[in-house]
Amino acid sequence: MQFIEGKVALVTGGSKGIGFGIAEALLWQGIHVAITSRTKGAAVEAAKKLSDLCKGKAKAVGLKADVRNYKSQQKAVEEVVEKFGKLDILVANAGLGHFASIDELTEQQWQETIDTNLTGVFFSVKAAVEELKKTKGYIITISSLAGTNFFQKGAAYNASKFGLTGFTQAIMLDLRPYEIKVTTIMPGSVATYFNNHIPDGNDDWKIQKEDIGSMVIDLLRMHPRTLPSKIEVRPSLPPS
């Protein structure tokens, strides 16, 4: 089992939802975490909440960064290294969804979806990869079952997640010679605020954000010789 306490992680889009759940799980294992959000206030507030929840097991910091801007991602990585001295783990989680029939989908909605869900991951990985080479680190991208399963009104989202799944598998092969592990996690229905949904008691059947957090910890603790490169995860029961 891998020793992971004291490692340093960067989680994009970590101020809420799946990213927040992953950050919390990392902190409980003694991993220092930097989370990013497009607004400084949201990032700092979430980092404080994480620190309070995890009672000082490790340090949490909030950074303003926009995955759609490469220089912004470079700055985030630089801030992490300046704060903690290294970067071991990148969780490329930031994402959004616009869902509309192709005749109603706007150019802006298409571009925002691709820029965030696909190009944003490219920028995050590109900005972090040299630091991860130094630590023989781990890259985890959060794709979706929509990365293999298409659906009506999903043109933009499907395109972004199909692309992300392929991108992650390709860089996994690129980075194996550097002993950098790369995995994509592809969740189905998760109880989060994604797409303006408000989680409530009717979401108990869904995957919970802490379930994804536990999965990330399992990946990090796996023996170095073993790499689950693509993980599909769905609720064990159908919608109730």
State the Cα–Cα distance between residues 170 and 125, nearest whole angstrom: 12
- At residue 88, the 3 state secondary structure works out as coil
In the beta sheet, which residues pair with residue 37?
64
Residue given tokens 């990013």 in the structure block: 36
Q: Does residue 70 carry a catalytic annotation?
A: no
Q: Which residues, other chains included, contact 97 with Cβ-Cβ below 8 Å and sequence gap of 6+?
A: 113, 156, 157, 194, 195
**CA geometry: angle at 115 spanning 231 and 169, to 5°?**
30
Going across the sheet that includes 181-187, the strands are 60-64, 32-37, 8-11, 89-92, 138-142, 181-187, 230-233
Q: Please tell me the distance from the alpha carbon of residue 127 to that of residue 120, in angstroms, as a whole number.
A: 11
Instruction: Catalytic residue, from 138, 157, 178, 193: name it.
Output: 157
Nearest residue to 90 via CA among 8, 211, 187, 177 = 8
Rg (CA), the chain: 17
- In Å, how far are 43, 88, 106, 131 from 134, measured between CA atoms? 27, 9, 42, 5
> Which of the residues are catalytic?
157
